[in-house]
Amino acid sequence: MSFIDLSKNEVQCKIVYYGPGRGGKTTNLLYIHQAMSEAVRGKMVTIDTKGDRTLFFDFLPLALGKIQNLSIKIQLYTVPGQVMYNATRKLVLKGVDGVVFVADSLKVQKEKNVESLENLKQNLADDGIDVKEIPLVMQYNKRDLSGSNIPILSVEEMERDLNRDLKVPWFPGSALKGDGVFETLREVSKRTVKHVSRKLLSR
């Protein structure tokens, strides 16, 4: 749910990074947090388990400047990717305005990507949101492993598996190195703000 405060001319939107466990959602947020100046980003909050898996969510607020006198504030969240944490994912998805689906390029994660995308569609549908209506951007993460001896999926194969019907914008990425991180963020923010303003104008 976006919130527009006309006393401050400010819009707040919620963008959720979704995808299978250990796919790089938190790494995306960490990279954004490290690369952005303190003037535009708030404090990053992480609730994780003893290891490096997200238990509840990560949260990072950003101020993305102004569009036509309206200040844009974006709140980035990640969900826990592990299958068993679906109740938590549903909580974090509440009131979502835009989604980044971070898919894992590792060949062994092929099924997990598809499963997680189906889970996203189902959880959105349970909240009355059609996956084709909400701003969605794909990121095919861990492309830096191409050329190494770890078997990875080709971008074409990932497109076939995940984006054949949705046909949403996608970016190859390496969240660890920062490749594609800001391209993804820019695209999803642009689409989300556009979507929110369109909804407002149609009121």
Partner 1 sequence: MDLVLSKEAINSIIAILDEDLLRAGADCVLLVDRSGNLIVNRGDPANLDVVALAALSAANFGATAEIAKLIGEDDFALLFHKGKNENIHFTKVGRGFILITLFGKDVSLGVIRLKTVKVTEDLLPILGGEQ
CA atoms within 13 A on the CB side of 48: 17
- The span of 1-9, 98-106, 111-119, 165-173 binding partner 1 (CB under 8 A) equals 1-9
70/79 Cα distance (integer angstroms) = 28
* Binding residue for partner 1, selected from 59, 85, 101, 170, defined by CB under 8 A: 59
Residues 11-30 that bind partner 1 (CB under 8 A): 12, 14
88/49 Cα distance (integer angstroms) = 14
Specify the residue, 35 or 45, whose C-beta has the smaller distance to partner 1. Answer: 45
* Residue 166 Cβ vs partner 1, minimum distance, rounded to whole Å: 23
Q: Does 115 bind partner 1 (CB under 8 A)?
A: no
Residues 61-90 that bind partner 1 (CB under 8 A): 61, 75, 77, 87-88
135/96 Cα distance (integer angstroms) = 10
Instruction: Count, in order, helices (H) and strands (E) of the chain.
Output: 5, 8
State the Cα angle at 126 between 120 and 129, rounded to 5°: 75
Residues that bind partner 1 (CB under 8 A): 1-7, 12, 14, 42-43, 45, 47, 56-57, 59, 61, 75, 77, 87-88, 91-92, 94-96, 196, 199-200, 203
